[in-house]
Structure 1
Amino acid sequence: MKRRNFLKNSSAATAGLLSTPLLGSCQEKKTTAISQTGNPLRPIVICTWDFMNASAKAWEVLSRGGSALDAVEQGVMVEEADVDNQTVGVGGRPDRDGNVTLDACIMDKDGNCGAVLYLQNIAHPVSVARKVMEETPHVMLAGKGAEQFAYEKGFKKVRLLTEKSSQEWQEWKKTSEYRPIINIENHDTIGMLAIDQDGNIAGACTTSGMAYKMAGRVGDSPIIGAGLFVDNEVGGATATGVGEEVVRTVGSFLIVELMRQGKSPQEACEEGVRRIIAKNKDHTDFQIGFIAINKQGETGGYCIQPGFTYRTYSEVGHRNNPASSYITI
């Protein structure tokens, strides 16, 4: 994936910022324009990071008249199946005990949602989350219960720990130093939002979580309102980065509510980051990235540290958008 080398280079430049005072918010607005006719831009898909293949798959569904819900599920499944992506699905980096555990959630236009937490041995947690949403009276299933439910629904047992991730884990155990590095792929997530031709919005979020986390750790990604939130009257938002900080501010719900109050997706993402910064004035050496979309098809993205990007795909084109950041170089 092309973004790996870019992020590794950008993280080195970012490291020097951690000892400097925080700078003011960048004023540049990075919003996808509404269609030239002035009508809402639809269909459209947006996802965290430069996941080109995932956004292309979602657009394929949308461009054929498919639903936003099908688009986000099939889009993020691309990354869940990619063994070279060590932050999502098969090949994800394990916890400190050597177990790959997956978290995912999905949300539809009607506010229905489903999530799985701490799921092992299943390649597509987002699809299990959809089954939870559509075929159970619950919103979340966790651990062995979620795994058993997946088997009952026909999902096959899969070995998630690849040789590459296993070797890296063995190397990590020599020091057992738990220190996530900004913008380097040990805690990334794919969050995706889409609007279909009917104007309906859906979202999905899936991750293998932080590399070498404590056994049982769950971040924001499967938590509705934190890692993902959709309101079909307003828009949707999703997050990536250190999930504990997103949970503390219920970040995605906050951003959607700010859009309800009249803020643009860009303005709402910026305020979401500022809320996190306000709770971490003496500790900012971590990354959070938010993306959002409103009912008109306008999009926005914002982060703490430079280096975060997000993909958009619509009639305007297929673009990788560098997000503006609270800390600037």
Structure 2
Amino acid sequence: MISRKNFLKFTALGGLLPAKNWSSSLSPSSGGPEPNRPLVISTWNHGIPANEAAWDVLAKEGGALDAVEAGVRIPEADPDVRTVGYGGYPDRDGFVTLDACIMDEREQCGSVAALQHIKHPISVARKVKEESPHVMLVGEGALQFAVEQGFEKEDLLTEASRKDWKAWKEDADYRPEINIENHDTIGMLALDSRGNLSGACTTSGAAWKMHGRVGDSPLIGAGLFVDNEVGAAAATGLGEEVIRTCGSHLVVEQMRRGDHPETACRKAVRRIVEKNESVKDIQVGFIAVDKQGRFGGYSIQKGFSFAVCEAGRNRLVDAPYWD
């Protein structure tokens, strides 16, 4: 449960908009904040190369939707990123199953879950949005749809992940790490030069999960939510906790009430903390951006980082956290 110390600290600070992570300047003509755009923000260290690909789109005045798809495809194809796409850790039965979703400025969205044999689930999710009457396809149906759309089947289990899986089976002890060792997601949010928002989220899920387990990453409102009038948010960490609180939707709704993105993320973290007797072994992190291009992140535990690219400068930020 939330401690009295943290409750008092949160109550005292909750109404303040934090000065850090402010990245907007004053417009000489209006005297008001000038939107900080384009901008891209993504979770974890692998957000740095992902942001570079997204920025290539944004810098040419491309749309936010194209940017986030291009961005997250980078870790999806990187076998050294062991929690996303190709080379991701398998489930406890040895199958690499992928989840992803994408959402644009018109709140049109597509999603796939428990998808096997396709390296870029984010692109399949976009096809679900654009080429099907549905929002979400799963399992064999998602694979069938992907093949029909021209995606090639391939073996996603690399030798390195196979070796780690076999080593894990010796004890078969399911204890998810709480930070980068098993953070299982890249979430990316972009604000383009026209002021439109989009987001993407893609993952191979928690290592050694039960076959068929789906976390928050492909669920609109949990792992990702975009409202083009307000802002966008994405989540990473223990998906079950994000699902229980509809975490990303909660963050966006807090921004709708006027909260700075970091404050909104902190309030979503607080909701999770309040719902658990202890969060010692739980990590969840949120990132958010609003229509003005203000951004922020917040996590339960120390160790969550996010990457931000604005004005061509790409950098990693250590998120503030609950203590």
Question: 1:44-74: CA deviations, max 9, x gaps?
Answer: 0000112211011101110011100000000
User: Residue 318 of structure 2 corresponds to which residue in structure 1?
Assistant: 322
Q: Secondary structure at the match of 1:128?
A: helix
Partner of residue 58, structure 2:
62
Q: What is the aligned partner in structure 1 of residue 44 from structure 2?
A: 49
| Equivalent residue number for residue 135 of structure 2 | 139
Paired letter, 2:227: D
Indicate the RMSD between aligned Cα atoms, in angstroms.
Answer: 1.6
Unpaired runs of at least 5, structure 1: 1-20
Secondary structure (helix, strand or coil) at the match of 1:285 reads coil
Which residue in the other structure is 1:39 paired with? 34
Aligned partner of 1:165 in structure 2 is 161
Q: Does the CA contact (< 8 Å) of 1:187 and 1:211 recur in 2?
A: no
Q: For 1:95, give the aligned amino acid.
A: D
- Contact in 2 for aligned 1:221/1:227 (Cα 8 Å): yes
Instruction: Answer yes or no: is the 8 Å Cα contact 1:23–1:326 preserved in 2.
Output: no
Is 2:208 aligned against 1:212? yes
Q: Classify the secondary structure of the residue corresponding to 1:33.
A: coil
Name the structure 2 match of 1:223. Answer: 219
Aligned residue among 220, 235, 249 for 2:245: 249
Whether the 8 Å contact between 1:31 and 1:265 is mirrored in structure 2 is no
1:201-244 Cα shifts (integer Å, max 9, x gaps): 00000000000000000000000000000000000000000000
SS at match of 2:34: coil
CA deviation profile, 1:237-295 (whole Å, cap 9, x unmatched): 00000000000000000110110011110110000000000111334311000000000
Which AA in structure 2 matches 1:41?
N
Q: TM-score, normalised by structure 1?
A: 0.91
The one-letter code matched in structure 1 to 2:38 is: P
Counterpart selection for 2:260 from 228, 247, 264: 264
Per the alignment, in what secondary structure is the counterpart of residue 146 of structure 1? helix
Q: Which moved more, 1:277-286 or 1:39-48?
A: 277-286
SS at structure 2 position matched to 1:297 = coil
Instruction: For 1:56 and 1:175, locate their aligned partners in 2 and report how far apart those are by CA, in whole Å.
Output: 40
Length, aligned pairs only:
308
Q: 2:58 aligns to what SS in structure 1?
A: helix
Of residues 73, 88, 93, the one that matches 1:92 is 88
1:186, CA displacement in angstroms? 2.1
Which SS does the other structure have where 1:324 is aligned? coil
d(CA) in 1 for partners of 2:180, 2:71 = 22
- Runs of 4+ residues over 6 Å off in structure 1: none
Paired residue type of 1:111? E
Equivalent-residue separation in structure 2 for 1:286 and 1:83 (angstroms): 26
Alignment of 1:96-175 (within 5 A): 96-175=92-171
Note the residue ranges of structure 2 that are not aligned, 5 or more in a row.
28-32
Shift of 1:23: 6.1
Q: Which moved more, 1:283-292 or 1:300-309?
A: 283-292
Q: Which amino acid aligns with 1:65?
A: E
**CA shift for structure 1 position 32:** 3.5
In structure 1, what is the Cα distance between the partners aligned to 2:236 and 2:175? 17
**What is the CA–CA distance in structure 1 between the aligned matches of 2:282 and 2:124, rounded to whole Å?**
30
Q: Percent identity over the alignment?
A: 58
The alpha-carbon distance between structure 1 residues 81 and 151, as it changes in their structure 2 partners (threshold 3 A), is: same
Name the amino acid aligned to 1:31. Answer: N
Q: Residues of 2 paired with 1:87 and 1:29: CA distance?
A: 33
